[in-house]
Amino acid sequence: MIQGTASGVGKSLLAAALCRLFARAGYRVAPFKAQNMALNAAVTADGGEIGRAQAAQAAAAGVEPTVGMNPILLKPEPGDRSQLVVLGRAVASVSWSEYARRQPELLPLVAESLARLRGAFDLVIIEGAGSPAEINLRDCDIVNMPVARLADAPVLMVGDIDRGGVFAALLGTLDLLEPHDRARVAGLIVNRFRGDAAILASGLAELTARSGVPVLGVVPYLEPGLVPAEDSLDLDDAPRWRMPGSLEIAVVRLPRISNFDDFEPLAAEPGVRVRFARSADELDGADLIVLPGTKSTVADLQWLIASGLGEAIRGAAAAGRPVLGICGGYQILGRTVNDPDRVESTASSTPALGLLPVVTTFVPAKTTVRVRARATTASRLFAAAVGTELAAYEIHAGRTSAESPSPFTIVERGGGPVTAPDGAVNAAGNVVGTYLHGLFANDGLRAALLSALAARKGIAADPRWGGRRGDSYERLANAVARAVDLAAIAKLVGLSFPKS
């Protein structure tokens, strides 16, 4: 099991690396996280919803993700509530106290999911959440040390040196653990180190002497984008400067932004800058304005209007600048968002930005499905990709009726053939909405969009756009393999590395 001194210290990244490394050594490996709180989600083959990090870890391990790899997912909502997703299905909207009362019935589901994985795989890489030393949450923790006890798993404790205070964070975490849990910590890992590792030698020696736990690795600060971002904290840390001569894509930083990993393939392209805009002036100079997915369409729509961003987006669209809405962003671009059953808000109907001729109505049943689709001739943003088949997925509660051509035609839904329109385009062709997440992971569509933006800007398209970047999990695994003691880590669970 991999635990950490705090959120965002690199647990998900290291779990993905170990999934790939042990799979590469010949073992069947699966990831597991009992409870995840995240707005980046993925869809399994059977239409279940799990945390994006566990789907990425499964991809690193070379296995198909299942709901059992993340049996409990909490998706934050307005008013200190969260949507509770259990074994891939949304079951309730809960406060923290309501969730805590449900935990006795949820823990057996965690145990059953973990037992199934352990029966089917040689090795399960378990990820914790936040810190196991949150002493105020000790009685209602079902993701950190209780899971380590359930699995009788040795624990690797990760600290982030880039944010400072890593020695105090590791020692303090160990000190706050109960003795029987502290005894499970079998190794320490220092993550995100920049510079000469020799500088750390004296500190690492004292850390080991004080804790009695060996340091099993110092992982360097790695290139971004090796695994999909999971926490919106990553966006708040993202630099926002502009790059002269580049394509500028401004993604509106909605308060409840979800599935923002949609834009990582664009950000990885040469000469493309993806920035997250928090104010109207940050939309200036953008070659494309994107309204991303959101867990709470109405609340984020109201914030958009109040912040002045809504009017700025209307102005940009009227001036002919490209505007793209994905999922909740698509709903916001429409005329009205109706919620007669109060699925998401207290308002029965809310006027939207009015940039697309569509009306959305929320219904209790949630759509979570993988699809295949083709670009149509309706939008010049994707004109160069017309007919190209692409893989995507949907996660939304609303049903949207459109009175316009659709930029995509869905040809397969949940593994079965269909012919269904998706999305909408305005009369001028510069405003586009779609329910399809994961669009830009498709090389041809990504290149088509960037080429269209370049032509509009009057710059040359980069011939490298849309090219395959190689396997990022291999790069991650190779970097981590150089930095940690894999033989010692394998020995903790009775395995050899590499497999003999």
**Catalytic residue set:** 327, 437
Residue 286 corresponds to which amino acid?
A
Helix, coil or strand: residue 10: coil
Please state the φ and ψ torsions of residue 59, each to the nearest 5 degrees. Answer: -60, -40
254 phi, psi to nearest 5 deg:
-65, 150
Instruction: Quote the CA–CA distance of 159 and 217 in Å, as a whole number.
Output: 11
Handedness of CA 478, 483, 488, 491 (dihedral sign): negative
> How far is 271 from 351, CA to CA, in rounded Å?
37
Structure tokens of 36? Answer: 């995840």
d(CA 163, CA 233): 13
Interhelix angle 201-211/166-176, rounded to 10 degrees, is 10
| Residue 444, number of CB atoms within 10 A of its CB | 16
Sorted by sequence, the CB contacts under 8 Å of residue 183 that are 6+ apart come out as none
Instruction: Specify which residues 83 forms β-bridges with.
Output: 75, 93
Q: Are 229 and 265 contacting, i.e. CB atoms less than 8 angstroms apart?
A: no
d(CA 445, CA 265): 11
Contact, 461 vs 450, CB < 8 A? Answer: yes
Report CA torsion sign: 412, 416, 418, 420.
negative
Contact in structure between 12 and 57 (CB atoms under 8 Å): yes
Query: How long is the chain?
Result: 500
- 450 within 8 A of 438, measured Cβ to Cβ: no
Q: How many CB atoms lie within 10 A of CB 499?
A: 12
Backbone angles phi, psi at 332, to 5 degrees: -65, -30
Question: Which residue matches tokens 């099991």?
Answer: 1
DSSP state of 165: -
Q: Give the DSSP letter string of 297-326.
A: HHHHHHHHHHHTHHHHHHHHHHTT--EEEE
| 494: its two tokens | 């009775």
Interatomic CA distance for residues 372 and 25, integer angstroms: 33
Distances (CA, A) of 234 to 9, 126, 242, 261, 303: 11, 22, 18, 11, 21
